[in-house]
Structure 1
Amino acid sequence: MKKFVFKKDKKHWLRMVEKRNDRRKESKNDKHLSTIGSKSLYANSKKREKVIMPKIVAPRIMLLKVSEYYNQFINFINDFERLCKKANELKFRFELDLSHIKEMYGDACVLFIASVDSMYQLYPNLKIKIRKPIKDITSRYDPHAVFCHLGFYKLFGLEYSADCSSENVVCWRYVTGDLADGQLTEPLMKTLNDMGINTKELYRSCIEGIANAVEHAYIPQIKSSRDVRNKKWWMLLAKLDGKLLLFVYDRGHGIPSTLEYTQDQKILKEIWKKLKQLVSPTKDCLYIKASMLVKETRTELNYRGKGTGDIKSFIDKTEGNLLRIYSSRGTMIYKGESTPSFCYDNSISINGTLLQWSIKLQDTI
């Protein structure tokens, strides 16, 4: 057998090797491989390029009632929804990294579920890779178990399992619905009864108030840059630490946009006087505060007809109860008639309305 001998002219030899490699690269270019998520991407290029799958990372603490965490979380939700829209348009897959979550509270959890559910309603062909939360053995929180218990992963078409026997996990219930398909009160009352909560006391003051708030969230006359055709609501409930915790969220126009459509101008004029406003407020939180004064103002003006449920009246009954309302950029905290309410505007909109009740269980059983 002949031994292979290097040519003496090394420059000539290197040119031959370079030409051979160029021919191989051109052959690969003909494949037009351009799939996001693969290890490499060839698209009209002679060079081999490594492509990293786009990724969005959830914040470590998912919470709304602290301004720092509120801004982090709402920015995350907005970035997630923008990425979903882009992924749908350009047909690529991205990663949703939940591994950094250490603490997750009901207010942020219900909003996160609503966001994911809404994105799949708008873009049913989305392809999202999930990186699960990692359990911290030193913490009482287990976000992965909560997500499994609530059926969150099923929104992605995934079937994950976890130990959901912990009190901080099993206590949570998830309810959702569409105003076009039926009323809010029926599934809510069924869930409360299953939890052993006496709905008789809650019905007029709380449950009917929730139904009215959600019903007024979607008004066709109001123009919006967001897609609000899907008239859904999402709710989380729990019996925890001696209290009933209830969170209900809608992705409607928000109280600051809907109040002047749902209320008589004469009523609003009286409310602006009570709030010492000469004209309509410029702050979202003042619109929320105004919405809390509607029922008593209607009564003062002797309006007839069926009264509506008052979302704050149940809070008045016992010290320690709390109502927190987020709508658009505004936030209001109500602890009863004897305590001054506290309201403020956030820098970012919540893109809808979130009502949160914290009610002592002995008041309802």
Structure 2
Amino acid sequence: MKKSALDKDRSHHRAGVSRWLNEQERKFHVYGASSKSKKVRARSSDRRVKIFAPPIISIYDFNAERSDAYKRTMQFLSDIERNFRVNNCFVDFSETVTVTAAAIIVVYAAIEQAGVGRKGKAEIIWSKSDRVNRQLRLSNVSRLIRGHKISYALDSVINMPIVSSVGGKMSDDVVDFIQNRIYTDMSADIEHVYGDAVSETINNVGSHAYPESSADERRWWLLCHTIGKKLYLAIYDTGVGIPKTVVERRWFMEAFQFTYPQAFKNMLAENPEKETHLLSRIIPARISDHELIGMSMKGDVSGTKKEKRGQGSKSILALVEETSGGLLWVFSNNGVYRFDQVVNKPEMYPLPMPFPGTLVQWNIELP
């Protein structure tokens, strides 16, 4: 029986990995050296690092009863950050059976950032799951691990890969992709709504996520695709996080007083000599990250629009609220915000381990 193209591809890959391993072994072999020296060199060859991916790569399973997948995914990200810079390493997906799209964008970002300036070679060990391998290829994770340069031409692709960019350079391209490849009958009004949600989220990254970084360091990652009739879009950054930036907004104290009136009164009573705006430094110790994310989604409750920037969350929330089957997730630092259009009520949760940065994801049913 002839081998399928996939079997041939796997055979070629295994052969390539085997050749690479042999090359590494030869690098450490010293001809004519004493047996003691040979043993030392042999032990050195065993220092190749293998970074193991967990069976389930997901950020959704964070509840106490089933938080193992989330914790192991966070550990995987830490392992990438710590070990991917090491010369000649493997990223091993052999035991991975499930990868969620929200998690793969975070993994991509971790690999890209850890790979900056590295000189050694890295190789991927494929999963036993064809579906997982397809995700790794389509997202360009496999190419990124191997050190290939990733380029974008969104006008010529059917499936959008993960986009990595800074500033607003790619926001128009993303909206054009949604219009031309996914939502071909998009009206001017709908395009404006989508454009607002995408561009304002990207602008928030540039304005708030990296307060101490230069413009060319304020990187974000975006993933957009469809599953059936559902549009899925996620934007991720590795900045300081919403809970640390929302307290800096000019409307924050008024919003806090409106949302948590008793806590506000208690703080005033305990700190009678402090000016109101200085109390914002105390608030993060009083309320949790998921509550601070919830306040960021409400924005300026006074309606005076004191600060237009930082209100991009309102465009996203409106988009989810007004479309059938809308679902919004916001992961940041130690908290999660979730809004389901069917339930029409926000839910907020603490995370068992800190999330590195901020991920905003929305799912919308297409007509």
Q: Same fold (TM over 0.5)?
A: yes
Instruction: Note the 1:62-141 alignment, pairs <5 A.
Output: 62-67=57-62, 68=67, 69-85=69-85, 87=86, 92-120=87-115, 122-135=116-129
- The correspondence for 1:342, drawn from 344, 347, 366, is 347
Instruction: Note the 1:245-256 alignment, pairs <5 A.
Output: 245-256=232-243
The answer to whether 1:155 aligns with 2:144 is: yes
Higher mean C-alpha displacement, 213-222 vs 74-83: 213-222
The answer to whether 1:273 aligns with 2:257 is: yes
Q: Secondary structure at the match of 2:344?
A: coil
Partner of 2:171: 185
Partner of 2:318: 313
- The correspondence for 2:25, drawn from 34, 38, 41, is 38
Quote the Cα distance in structure 2 between the aligned partners of 1:199 and 1:349.
40
- The correspondence for 2:133, drawn from 125, 137, 144, is 144
- How far is 1:36 from its partner? 11
- The correspondence for 2:56, drawn from 52, 55, 61, is 61
CA contact (8 A) 2:138 2:161 kept: no
- How far is 1:230 from its partner? 2.4
Change over 3 Å in CA distance of 1:129–1:102 after alignment to 2: same
Q: Secondary structure at the match of 1:173?
A: coil
Q: Secondary structure at the match of 1:353?
A: strand
Change over 3 Å in CA distance of 1:41–1:229 after alignment to 2: farther
Q: Secondary structure at the match of 1:348?
A: strand
- How far is 1:66 from its partner? 0.8
Name the amino acid aligned to 2:173.
P
- The correspondence for 2:291, drawn from 265, 286, 291, is 286
CA contact (8 A) 1:205 1:312 kept: no
CA contact (8 A) 1:214 1:250 kept: no
Change over 3 Å in CA distance of 1:171–1:64 after alignment to 2: farther
Name the amino acid aligned to 2:121.
K
Higher mean C-alpha displacement, 278-287 vs 231-240: 278-287
Q: Which has the larger radius of gyration?
A: 1
Quote the Cα distance in structure 1 between the aligned partners of 2:89 and 2:331.
30
Name the amino acid aligned to 1:314.
L
CA contact (8 A) 2:160 2:225 kept: yes
Count of residues paired in the alignment:
299
Give the RMSD, CA atoms, in angstroms: 3.3
CA contact (8 A) 2:81 2:110 kept: yes
Quote the Cα distance in structure 1 between the aligned partners of 2:181 and 2:175.
10
Change over 3 Å in CA distance of 1:252–1:206 after alignment to 2: farther
Quote the Cα distance in structure 1 between the aligned partners of 2:129 and 2:342.
42
Instruction: Note the 1:292-303 alignment, pairs <5 A.
Output: 292-295=297-300, 297-299=301-303, 301=304, 303=306
Quote the Cα distance in structure 1 between the aligned partners of 2:50 and 2:288.
35
Q: Secondary structure at the match of 2:292?
A: helix
Structure 1 runs not aligned, ≥5 long: 1-34, 137-141, 160-169
Structure 2 runs not aligned, ≥5 long: 1-21, 149-156, 268-282
CA contact (8 A) 1:175 1:187 kept: no
Q: Secondary structure at the match of 1:351?
A: strand
Partner of 1:13: none
Name the amino acid aligned to 1:146.
Q
- How far is 1:348 from its partner? 2.0
Partner of 1:27: none
Q: Secondary structure at the match of 2:81?
A: helix
Quote the Cα distance in structure 1 between the aligned partners of 2:194 and 2:240.
21
Quote the Cα distance in structure 1 between the aligned partners of 2:210 and 2:89.
36
Structure 1 length normalisation: TM-score? 0.71
Give the share of equivalent positions with the same residue, in percent: 19
Structure 2 length normalisation: TM-score? 0.71
Name the amino acid aligned to 1:216.
N
CA contact (8 A) 1:244 1:360 kept: yes
CA contact (8 A) 2:197 2:319 kept: no
- How far is 1:342 from its partner? 0.8
Name the amino acid aligned to 1:193.
Q
The answer to whether 1:210 aligns with 2:204 is: no
Partner of 2:275: none
Quote the Cα distance in structure 2 between the aligned partners of 1:84 and 1:171.
31
The answer to whether 1:358 aligns with 2:352 is: no
Change over 3 Å in CA distance of 1:289–1:127 after alignment to 2: same
Quote the Cα distance in structure 2 between the aligned partners of 1:199 and 1:329.
38
Task: List per-residue Cα deviations over 1:215-238 (Å, max 9, x = no partner).
Answer: 3335598469xx996222211112
Quote the Cα distance in structure 2 between the aligned partners of 1:272 and 1:354.
23
- The correspondence for 1:231, drawn from 209, 214, 218, is 218
CA contact (8 A) 1:189 1:199 kept: no
